[in-house]
Structures are given as structure tokens and as C-alpha cells.
């Protein structure tokens, strides 16, 4: 199957491969479409993400760090992965499994709260 995701998401490296290891995920329940309030929240996150990336990427920040509620560990997400996850959430109500950052440098990532504060500080200049 060709890449069925919206533009901007990474292509499926196993598209049309009958031995695709992700084939087991086909049996996963489909996502539930977001309601209007959830859609608006995700769209706001996408808009915020664009601002944060434009302000922080030139300073060497690679993306965001998020504490995972399931494993209680930090997860490092590059800007492109975050954008792709949010776009997919809008498209079909799911976020597919993805590869974690390989050997991330924690000092290259910041939290959503840091981004909000930084953007707020920049807007007050």
C-alpha cells in the first residue's frame, strides 16, 4: 500500500512490502475522530509548534522533551516528528508507533512550558 498519510508525514519505508513488520498493526482498532474541541486544541498545538520551532530551532533546539506517563521516562521528539504526530491525530484520531530519538542529547530539547515562556518573552520585547 502506498503512503496514505497527509503530506508532510514521513513516507512508509515498507510501502507495498508483503513482509512489512508493521502488518500486525493492521489489526489495531482504528482511531476515533476528534470532536470539535479536540480538533481545535490540536490545531492550536500545531500553530504553537510552528512558532516555537521558528524561534528555537535557529538556537540549536531540536525539539521537545515529554515525560511519558506510561513508562515515567523522558521521550525526545524532533520538530518534524511532533508535527507529523499532530497532523496524523487530526487526520484519523491516532498516533502510530514511531522510533524514539537515537541517543538524544537532552540539552538539545526543551519542554512545552519552556517554549511557551520563551515565546511569551519574545512577544514582550
Model confidence, pTM: 0.74
Beta strands in the chain (DSSP E): 63-67, 74-78, 109-110
pLDDT digits (tens, 9 = 90+) for 69-111: 888 989 999 999 999 999 999 998 888 777 777 789 999 999 9
- Per the DSSP assignment, residues forming a β-bridge with 64 are 77, 110
Q: What is the residue-averaged pLDDT of the chain?
A: 86
Say what the pLDDT of residue 90 is: 93
Amino acid at each position: 500500500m502506498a503512503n496514505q498519510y497527509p503530506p508532510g508525514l514521513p513516507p512508509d519505508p515498507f510501502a507495498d512490502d508483503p513482509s512489512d513488520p508493521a502488518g500486525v498493526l493492521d489489526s489495531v482498532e482504528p482511531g476515533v475522530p476528534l470532536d470539535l474541541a479536540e480538533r481545535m486544541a490540536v490545531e492550536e498545538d500545531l500553530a504553537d509548534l510552528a512558532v516555537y520551532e521558528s524561534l528555537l530551532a535557529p538556537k540549536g533546539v531540536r525539539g521537545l522533551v515529554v515525560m511519558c506517563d506510561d513508562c515515567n521516562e523522558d521521550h525526545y521528539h524532533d520538530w518534524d516528528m511532533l508535527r507529523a504526530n499532530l497532523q496524523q491525530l487530526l487526520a484519523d484520531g491516532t498516533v502510530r508507533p514511531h522510533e524514539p530519538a537515537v541517543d538524544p542529547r537532552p540539552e538539545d530539547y526543551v519542554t512545552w512550558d519552556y517554549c511557551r515562556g520563551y515565546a511569551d518573552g519574545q512577544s514582550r520585547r
